[in-house]
């Protein structure tokens, strides 16, 4: 397909896969820091992101999205409500359900905290031409799908919710 020169191309690929974990690490650090600034926990900020991405939903759906139990989500909503980031609004059609929706203030604060990062990203992407943007998008989507596929594969592998510390070594690979 493409001519891969052992010096240039392979080295660049190595540098990419080497820089990726650091990038993720910096993002995680940033999320943690922003959560701290907003008076919530990192998980709560994750919850807010899930809300922004998927729209307002009930606590159970939200729990399913972020991988927590409904009970934990309930107290999480308590915290986010106390911090003024989300609001509980009962569903008129089913009074059991409670819709969780982010408040405009919370949305603004989040957008404000991430404005610097998103602005820089947009500025940087503006220096790319169309072909570069396309290959970039392909890579990002491929990476996302690879990660999701790995998650799905490991999820399908075994089931180990919260085992005791005695069986520290659950298995070796099969």
Using CB under 7 A as the binding rule, the residues of this chain from 121 to 150 that contact DNA are: none
CB of 4 to a second copy, least distance (A): 6
DSSP code string of 8-75 = THHHHHHHHHHHHHHHHHHHHHHHHHHHHHTTS-HHHHHHHHHHHHH-SEEHHHHHHHHT--HHHHHH
> Which partner in DNA, a second copy, none is near 88 (CB below 5 to 8 A by kind)?
DNA
Distance between CA atoms of residues 149 and 53, nearest Å: 20
82 binds DNA (CB under 7 A): no
Q: From DNA, a second copy, none, which one binds at residue 69 (CB under 5 to 8 Å depending on kind)?
A: DNA
Orientation of helix 42-54 relative to helix 70-82, angle to 10°: 90
Of the candidate residues 9, 55, 70, 116, the single one contacting DNA (CB under 7 A): 70
Helix, coil or strand: residue 171: coil
Size of the chain in residues: 174
Binding region for DNA (CB under 7 A) out of 12-20, 61-69, 119-127, 134-142? 61-69
Which one of DNA, a second copy, none is in contact with 59 (Cβ closer than 5 to 8 A by kind)? DNA
Interface residues with DNA (CB under 7 A) are 41, 43-44, 58-60, 67-79, 88, 94-98, 160-165
């Amino acid at each position: 397909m493409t001519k891969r020169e052992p010096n240039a191309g392979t080295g660049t690929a190595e540098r990419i896969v080497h820089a990726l974990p650091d990038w993720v690490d910096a993002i995680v650090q940033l999320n943690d820091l922003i959560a701290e600034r907003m008076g919530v926990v990192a998980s709560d900020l994750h919850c807010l992101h899930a809300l922004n991405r998927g729209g307002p939903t009930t606590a159970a759906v939200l729990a399913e999205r972020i991988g927590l139990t409904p009970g934990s989500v309930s107290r999480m909503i308590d915290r986010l409500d106390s911090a003024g980031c989300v609001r509980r609004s009962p569903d008129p059609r089913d009074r059991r359900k409670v819709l969780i929706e982010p408040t405009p203030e919370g949305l603004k604060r989040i957008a404000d905290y991430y404005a610097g990062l998103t602005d820089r990203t947009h500025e940087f992407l503006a220096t790319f031409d169309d072909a570069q943007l396309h290959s970039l998008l392909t890579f990002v989507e491929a990476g996302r799908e690879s990660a999701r596929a790995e998650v799905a594969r490991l999820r399908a592998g075994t089931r180990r919710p919260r085992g005791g510390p005695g069986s520290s070594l659950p298995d070796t690979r099969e």
